[in-house]
Structures are given as structure tokens and as C-alpha cells.
Structure 1
């Protein structure tokens, strides 16, 4: 019996995540990253008609980040999305505009999916 236990592969990162994490955590982390990217791209491409993406992130944090560790994870992902585009784009390009459009679409899909599957 001891040999079987030793032969098992090590626990994966997913298995080591907190048990109290909601099932939609990955989607919200991705949404945080998208909001950070959009927060950078919006002023770069002078899209005044877009909503305030940082404000949307604040709303997400207020609704979902009950503990400090979770809040930090969301903020880290927001900053990762922001820095990823800041490192590459210094002016608005067709690729930056396309990224904005794609991220708005992906973010909308994530919100619809999480809301439809997990709201009460």
C-alpha cells in the first residue's frame, strides 16, 4: 500500500488552491486581466465612449474580494493585463484596436457565463 502512495504523481496546483474558492474563480481572474488590459488600451486609443474599466474592476473587487488574499490575486491579474500591453504598445495601432474589441467581447462572454451559471 505504501508503494502505491509513493508512486502517485505530486498534487497539481489546482488541487492546492483553497477549498473555499468559488467554481468561477478562473473566469473572474481572467476578467480581472481583461479589465487591466482595457484600462491601458482605452486612453491609448482615445475611446471615450468605453466605460471606466478601472471602475468596473473596483465593482468586481467590492462584490467578490471578501478576503485580502483573493483581492490581491484579482489586483495582480488586473496589473498583469495592464503591464502586458504597456510593454508593447506606445500608440494606438490596428492590433491594439482589435485587442480591445476582442477583450470586450471575451469579457462580456465571461460575465454572461458566470452570471447564467452561478447567480441565484
Structure 2
């Protein structure tokens, strides 16, 4: 199973891309070429915000929301993009909250998939759009 620190590192790398890419940022009102991946990461963070504490990671009650805020701080999105990122996070959270009330084997497997996908997406963003 992929452990939370690996995704944390991947998310921080994506955040570094946002901070480092400020000079090469798209013009106001446009979206970066990694927008779809970023929205998926936001959705994954929302899912983890619900699932990780449900599956016994009680110490992570606010961790994934904090990671989302770190991502938003690095991206410094316009109000419209911020709204979309928040909506993606909330969709990830609610999609699992409506299905799981306890940590089942399927919920634990979903956590593993979310972690792996988040790490891959974050890595791909940095590799493709990280510049130097």
C-alpha cells in the first residue's frame, strides 16, 4: 500500500510547480495545461479527507484539507478556478461519504487507489510542466 507521506511529497512537488511556474503562468482568465490533472488531485484530496480518518487514520482529520489549502496557496487561482478546485475537493469527499459509513475492505482499497493515483498525477505534472 502507498503510504500518506508519498502522496504528501507528490502534492508538495505539484505545489512547488505552481510556485515556481508563476513567471510562466497562463494569462489571467486562462487555465494552465495541467488543469484537468489538478482538478483530479483536488478530488482525490477530498476523497482522502473523508476516507483516511474513516479507515483509522484519526490523526489525519484535517491533514488532507490542509494539503488542499497548500495546493491552493501555491496555485493562487482566480476566484473562478478556486471555486472549481473547491467543488472538485467537495465532490471527492461527498462521493465517498454517500457510500461508506465504516471502513470496509473496499474503502481501504479506495484509499490505496487514491494515494497511488494522486502520487502519479502529481509526478506527471511536475515532469511535464515543471520546467528546468
Give the TM-score range, shorter chain: 0.7 to 0.9
Counterpart CA distance in 2 for 1:22 and 1:47 is 33
Q: CA RMSD in A?
A: 1.8
2:59 equivalent to 1:22: no
1:110–1:19 distance in 2 versus 1, CA, 3 Å: same
- Larger Rg belongs to: 1
Q: Tell me the TM-score normalised to structure 1 length.
A: 0.80
Work out the CA distance in 2 between the residues paired with 1:70 and 1:20.
Answer: 9
Listed one character per residue, the Cα deviations across residues 58-101 of structure 1 (whole Å, up to 9, x for unaligned) are 01111114311100000000000000000010000000000000
Equivalent pairs counted in the alignment come to 103
Structure with the bigger percentage of helix: 2
Which ranges in structure 2 are unaligned for 5 or more consecutive residues?
1-27
SS at match of 1:21: coil
Instruction: Check if 1:69 corresponds to 2:80.
Output: yes
Stretches of structure 1 that go unaligned for 5 or more consecutive residues are 1-17
Aligned mate of 1:99, from 97, 101, 110 = 110
Deviation >4 Å, runs of 4+: 48-51
- CA distance in structure 2 between the aligned counterparts of 1:36 and 1:81, rounded to whole angstroms: 5
The answer to whether 1:36 aligns with 2:51 is no
